Amino acid sequence: MNIAVLGAGAWGTALAIYLSARHDVALWTRNTEHLVELATLRVNQRYLPGQYLPDSIHLVSALSDVLERAELVFVVVPVSGLRVTLQQMAALDRSLPFVLGCKGFEAGSAKLPCQVVEDVYPAGIAYGVLSGPSFAREVALGLPAALTLASRDDAFSKWIASEIHTSILRVYSNHDVIGVEVGGALKNVVAIAAGISDGLAFGNNARAALITRGLAEIIRLGVALGGQRETFTGLSGIGDLILTCTGDLSRNRQVGMMLASGWPLSEILPEIGHVTEGVYTVREAHGMGQQLQIDMPVTRAVYSILYEYIPVKRAIRDMLDREPGSETD
C-alpha cells in the first residue's frame, strides 16, 4: 500500500520507519531545510537522532506530491498545525482516508483533533485516531508495543488494523474516539506533575498517588466531554499515562523535572527542542475544568506553575494541602 506520513517529527519519523517494512512510504515535511538534512544524512538528527531512515522511504516537501499516490495518510503534525494541514488536504480535493497521530487540544478553541476534523470535513470522511503507550524511539527500533485505533467506522478500524498490526506493534480497535483523544491529551499534563514530583525527590509513593489521582480527573473531564469511562482503563488511558509519567524518554516528564530544578519555561522548551503538548494542553484543560465545574487539582497545579508563575513548591503544597474527600468523587 502507498502510505503518506505527514509530519517528520519524532513520532512521524518512527511511524514511517515502522510502516516502511511492509508498505511504500512517503514522509512529508513542509520545512525544505529539514528535508535536505533528512535526504543527505538519512537520519532525523533533529527529532530522532541515531535512527537510520531506510532508503525505501521517499522524502517529500510538496503536499500535493505526497498525496498524489497515497492510498492512506497518517497525519502526525502537532495539534497546533492540524487544522491548516487538513485544510490544505481538503483544498487539494483529495478525500483520502487518514489516521490522526497527534494528541492535545487546539489552542483557543479547546477542540480535540476529531472535532477539528469535523470542522474541516463537515460532510464526513473516513478517519481514525492512533494512540497509546508508545515512545517514538522504541517503535523506530522495532521494540514491542500495543496501540489503540479509535474510529466510529468498524470497517475502517478493521482495514487499518489489518494493514499495520504485527506481532511487534499490536493494534486494538475502539469506538470511543473522544475518550481515546482525551486520555492522550491529558496524560501529558499529569506527566509534567509527575516530573515535578520526581524532581523534588518526593519518591515512588507520591508518584503513584499522583498518577492515580491524575487518572481520576482525566476520567471526570473525559466522561463530561462524551468519552466512555472504560476507555480510560485501557491502552490510551492508564497505559499511556503510566508510560508518560514514568519513562525517561517522556518530554513532558522532563519539563516537570526541569521546572522542579528551577528552570524557567522559556528556557526549558528550547532546551528540549521538541513540541511538549502538555504545556499547551493544560491551558485548555484548565479552562474546560472551570467551565464545566470539574475538580482538577493536578491540572490546576500545573497551570498555576506554568501560567500564573506560582513557585513550584508552593503550587504542589497547595495541591497536597487540599481537604481529603471520597476517593470515588
Q: What pLDDT, on the 0 to 100 scale, is given for residue 319?
A: 81
Q: How far apart are CA 106 and CA 81, in angstroms?
A: 9
Q: Domains of the chain: which residue ranges?
A: 2-175, 178-320
Positions marked catalytic: 187
Average pLDDT over residues 277-282: 96
pTM of the model: 0.95
Q: Please name the residue that has the C-alpha cell 489503540.
A: 148
Give exposure, 214-240, as e/b (b: 16+ Cβ within 10 Å): bbbbbbbbbbebebeeebbebbbbbbb
Residue pLDDT, tens place only, 168-184: 999 999 999 999 999 99
Q: Does this chain's domain 2-175 share its CATH topology with 178-320?
A: no
Q: What pLDDT, on the 0 to 100 scale, is given for residue 84?
A: 97
Q: What angle do CA 153, 238, 107 make, to 5 degrees?
A: 70
Percent of the chain with pLDDT over 70: 98
Give yes or no for residue 41 having a pLDDT over 90: yes
Residue pLDDT, tens place only, 206-235: 999 999 999 999 999 999 999 999 999 999
Q: How far apart are CA 180 and CA 183, in angstroms?
A: 5
Any idea what DSSP says for residue 2? E
Q: How far apart are CA 131 and CA 100, in angstroms?
A: 9
Give yes or no for residue 163 having a pLDDT over 70: yes
Which listed CATH number (1.10.1040.10, 3.40.50.450, 3.40.50.2300, 3.40.50.300) goes with 178-320? 1.10.1040.10
The CATH T-level fold of domain 2-175 is Rossmann fold (3.40.50)
Residue pLDDT, tens place only, 25-36: 999 999 999 999
Model confidence at 328, pLDDT cuts 50, 70, 90, reads low
Q: How far apart are CA 79 and CA 201, in angstroms?
A: 32
